[in-house]
Amino acid sequence: MRNTTIAGTLLLVLTAAACGRSEPGAPRAADTPAPGAPAAGTTTAPSGPRVYVSDETGGNVFVIDAASARVIETIPVGKRPRGIRLTHDGTQLLVALSGSPIAGPGVDESKLPPADRTADGIGLLDLSTLKVVRNYPSGQDPEAFDLSPDGRTLYVSNEDAAQMSVVDLTSGSITSRAAVGEEPEGVTVRPDGREIWVSCEADNEVVAVDATSHKVVARMPTGARPRSVIFTADGRTAFVTNENAGAVSAIDAVTHKAVATLQIPKIEGAPTVPRPMGGVLSPDGRQLFVSLGRAGAVAVIDVAARTVTRTIEGVGGRPWGIAISPDGRKLYTANGPAGTVSVIDVATGKVDQQIKTGGSPWGVVAASK
């Protein structure tokens, strides 16, 4: 959407997941330490459960203390931070940065200001110092990304270029590009590491790319405007959120065939019909939580039964990014237009708090420290 370590010498691993800009600069790879090396002369951030949120319009990452539910740090990272992920060991944070101007559906792009391609990249934020210590090349207009299971490789959706870039994190260079489809957004590596699935909004399909050859091996039709891809823990089923269809597709991840369509029921009193956006599995893998965009709600799906069991309403303005605490008790949604992050009790379905962040929260991840 337009509004829309690394094994060997780097050794990092991964944890799970429109619209403005700012000018803070992020250091380039050649000028900074390798991932895992703290910046000199900096202090150590306090420990404890944290929630990290990308602020697309402000060019920041917000750090929220989960215990007190308040913003404790605002870190400038670069232009249009959107996709955001922790490394597997939880010591660093990767965030997609883009110099492309905001362009929602139907916008006349010829009237937009020129893109700043020097701003494109994947920033690496060291969580012990809360400093950006490196900026990886990303390809044009990165929006979302995922890491290979061994942490050596980064796969990035390049929305403006209809491509997926393959980034070697040891060398810090792009080694390959795959032509996937128009407006690629969500990127998720299948748990076995053999395929990368990319949702292509304008083509209404998900594309599977072989992790070795970087060739497209399957194109799978979905509902209108697919956003996110979430695999079950065993990697046998993929759930795809389809914003404009108001539905979630369930796809057999081995045969590449659709097996079910889960229509999200209308929510009485909501400003729009459900608009499925982000998704996150519960730690036990039994439930899938899907943010519903401008409907201001979250859908809860029983993974085994492939049914919508309930909706959590009154979440906030356009919840998009969604994360779950490591203990599975709390959900967090990034509510862009509202400038808030909602804290939801999973057991009761109650919105406990709405944390004022300002800016435009886009992506969110929850960590144990």
pLDDT tens for each residue of 217-250: 999 999 999 999 999 999 999 999 999 999 999 9
Q: What is the pLDDT of residue 100?
A: 92
In the 8-state DSSP scheme, what is residue 234? T
What amino acid is encoded at 356 in this protein? K
pLDDT at 40 over 90: no
Instruction: Give pLDDT, residue 47.
Output: 64
Output 46 or 343, whichever has higher pLDDT.
343
pLDDT for residue 124 is more than 60: yes
d(CA 25, CA 119): 8
Instruction: Give the pLDDT band of residue 104 (cuts 50, 70, 90).
Output: low
pTM of the model: 0.87
- Say whether pLDDT at 105 is over 70: no
**pLDDT in the model for residue 297:** 98
Exposed/middle/buried for residue 313 (C-beta within 10 Å: 0-12, 13-18, 19+): middle
Reported confidence tier of residue 106, pLDDT bands at 50, 70, 90: low
Pairing of strands 279-281, 237-242: unpaired
The pLDDT score that the predictor gives to residue 113 is 84
**Given a cut of 70, is residue 4 above it in pLDDT?**
no
SS3 assignment, position 30: helix
* pLDDT grade for 31, boundaries at 50, 70 and 90: very low
pLDDT digits (tens, 9 = 90+) for 327-336: 999 999 999 9
Encode burial over 158-181: b for 16+ CB neighbours within 10 A, e otherwise: bbbbbbbbbbbbbebebebbbebb
Range with lowest mean pLDDT among 26-35, 131-140, 282-291, 300-309: 26-35
**Band of pLDDT at residue 298, cut at 50, 70 and 90:** very high
Listed residue (78, 119, 84, 72) closest to 100, CA to CA? 119
| Residues across the chain | 369
292, 320 contact by CB (below 8 A): no
Q: One-letter amino acid identity for 192?
A: D
Q: What is the pLDDT at residue 109?
A: 65
Rounded Cα–Cα distance for residues 32 and 28 (Å):
7
Residues 6+ apart with CB under 8 A from 68: none
Rounded to the nearest integer, the mean pLDDT of the chain is 88
What is the rounded average pLDDT of the residues 55-64? Answer: 97
Residue 94 has pLDDT above 80, yes or no: yes
Structure token pair of residue 101: 């101007």
Count of C-beta atoms within a 10 Å radius of residue 307: 11
Between CA 263 and CA 251 the distance in angstroms is: 14
Query: What is the average pLDDT across 75-80?
Result: 98
- Residue type (1 letter), 230: I
What's the confidence (pLDDT) of residue 27? 38
pLDDT value at 358 more than 70: yes
Region of 151 (left: φ > 0; alpha: ψ -120 to 50; beta: rest) is left
Indicate if the pLDDT at residue 326 is higher than 50. Answer: yes
Q: What is the mean pLDDT of residues 42-58?
A: 78
Q: Which of 59-68, 94-103, 188-197 has the lowest mean pLDDT?
A: 94-103
Closest to 124 in 3D by CA, of 228, 37, 184: 37
Tell me the percentage of the chain whose pLDDT exceeds 70. Answer: 85
Buried b (16+ CB within 10 A) or exposed e, 235-274: bebbbbbbbbbbbbbbbebeebebeeebebeebeebeebb
Residue 22 has pLDDT above 50, yes or no: no
pLDDT band at 36 (very low <50, low <70, confident <90, very high): very low
Q: Which two tokens stand for residue 137?
A: 């090349």
